[in-house]
Amino acid sequence: MALVRLEVADGVGTVRLDRPPMNALSAALTADLRVAVQEATERRDIRAVVLYGGEKVFAAGADIKEMAGLDVAGIASWVRDLTGVFELIARIPKPVIAAVTGWALGGGLELALCADFRVFADNAKVGLPEITLGVIPGAGGTQRLPRLVGPARAKDLVFSGRQVRAAEAEAIGLADRVVPAGEVYAEALRLAGRYVAGPALALAAAKQAIDDGSELALSEALRLESALFVGLFGTEDRRLGMDSFIANGPGKADFVGR
């Protein structure tokens, strides 16, 4: 039985972790996650993606029992597979929303950090507790978190290993919105639905410009933005958008994703 399912409805693909009770990130789950993410990336009928662990827990972290038995070569391969899948998620050329319920610790929080937006349940508890095991986050926590909340706040969480509740997560910019626990998935779907009818190629270009541009010098980032902008003039959606604007005013175009 697959440990990750891809469910598709109304243009939104939900990548759902399904390894009770805590969705611990094992090698097998990582392999299934790769398959689901690749399919979500490639399918044209999927215009936005939601990462979801179910009503009770997002992902409580890596499978420590599995990790503890590995030697240096084994753990190097293990973490390479996990970080490779997380990079695929971060590179999905579509809006990605993490719907976080309950625990999102260690690798679970690192998974949520790969999303463009994070919706937290009001009972969510998140953190990077790796320091309490004598190691550090190894799947993006020391890199994606400071880019999101700033170096000092990231160091506080990484150095202490402490858990953060939803209200604090929202205050520091780790959560984009906090809703009652029973509404997390519905809110993530609602947010994803805002982009389903949008111009898919322009959304992908916008995501690439922001994500890749943040790693470049400003002059290089501006050249990237200009190149992506010019490239969109060859798309059908650009023609539809501008023709609709001229005929009917802004915000009324029916895009086709080409």
Q: What is the pLDDT of residues 45-92, one digit of tens each?
A: 999 999 999 999 999 998 888 988 899 999 999 999 999 999 999 999
Q: What percent of the chain has pLDDT over 90?
A: 95
Sorted by where each starts, the structural domains of the chain and their CATH numbers stand as: 4-196 (3.90.226.10), 200-248 (1.10.12.10)
Strands in 48-52's sheet, in edge-to-edge order, are 4-9, 12-17, 48-52, 96-100, 117-121, 177-179
Mind listing the pLDDT tens digit for each residue in 85-107?
999 999 999 999 999 999 999 99
In this prediction, residue 1 has a pLDDT band, given cuts at 50, 70 and 90, of: confident
Average pLDDT over residues 203-212: 98
Q: What is the pLDDT of residue 252?
A: 87
Structure tokens at 214: 């943040």
- Residues recognised as catalytic: 62, 107, 110, 130
For all residues of the chain together, what is the average pLDDT?
96
Mind listing the pLDDT tens digit for each residue in 155-203?
999 999 999 999 999 999 999 999 999 999 999 999 999 999 999 999 9
